[in-house]
Amino acid sequence: MLEALRSARLLRFVTENRMHSAADTSRASFEVRPAQPQDADTIAAKARTLATAHLTYDPSRFYLPDDIESVYREWLSRADPASDLLALVALQAQPGGAGESLIGYTIAEHFAAAPHFWSPAHVFVHDICVDWDSRTAGVGRLLIDHVAQWARSRGAMHLRGLVAARNTGARRFFRAVSFREAAVEVTRDL
């Protein structure tokens, strides 16, 4: 568990540092594309680290499935930009043209209007995760911008997400990319 917590510190949820300007982003050598089957293991490993980090925020609210890799592989197998489930990856070119590294991902889902929850059509951002050393390059912003474009194409009125109350870095990131805190989740342990 201690090693997993150390890994979580290396790959923290979204960003806890400053964001570079749009001009800085244009100089970065990364791209966003839909996730592909060969990305599943890397995404699943990042998801394990992300889920482990959430245990430090509130261990009674969040949990780490025993086989999170299988859960994510199944989830990713259903993701397709033409469906209601979208998985995107951010890739960074390696020096000297030695290929690309997956430095971040996001998973988002479209939901139709739900009048019983007073909720218009929206896209829920389930995960967004960017490698620690790529945080200030605008990767998270670019992933969110791609999700927003996809959401508009589906007629969504909002992007939404759930952030641990104690995850101040993620809350700061979401404010920086034009999210606002609109509701409060309440939890009662049983």
* Among 120, 106, 102, residue whose Cα is nearest residue 148: 106
pLDDT at 79: 93
pLDDT at 118: 78
* pLDDT of 24 higher than 60: no
Both tokens of 170, joined, read 């993620």
Instruction: Answer left, alpha or beta for residue 96, where phi above 0 means left and psi between -120 and 50 means alpha.
Output: left
> Which residue do the tokens 């999210």 mark?
179
Q: Confirm if 142 and 90 have CB atoms less than 8 A apart.
A: yes
CATH of 2-176, one of 3.40.50.300, 3.40.50.150, 3.90.79.10, 3.40.630.30: 3.40.630.30
pLDDT at 28: 54
Report which DSSP code applies to 100: E
| Domain ranges across the chain | 2-176
Q: Confirm if 136 and 17 have CB atoms less than 8 A apart.
A: yes
CA distance 109 to 26: 28
Taking the complete model, does pTM exceed 0.85, yes or no?
A: no
The mean predicted confidence, pLDDT, of the chain is: 83
pLDDT at 151: 96
CA distance 46 to 129: 7
Both tokens of 21, joined, read 């300007």
- pLDDT for 98-124, tens place per residue? 789 999 999 999 999 877 667 889 999
pLDDT at 13: 27
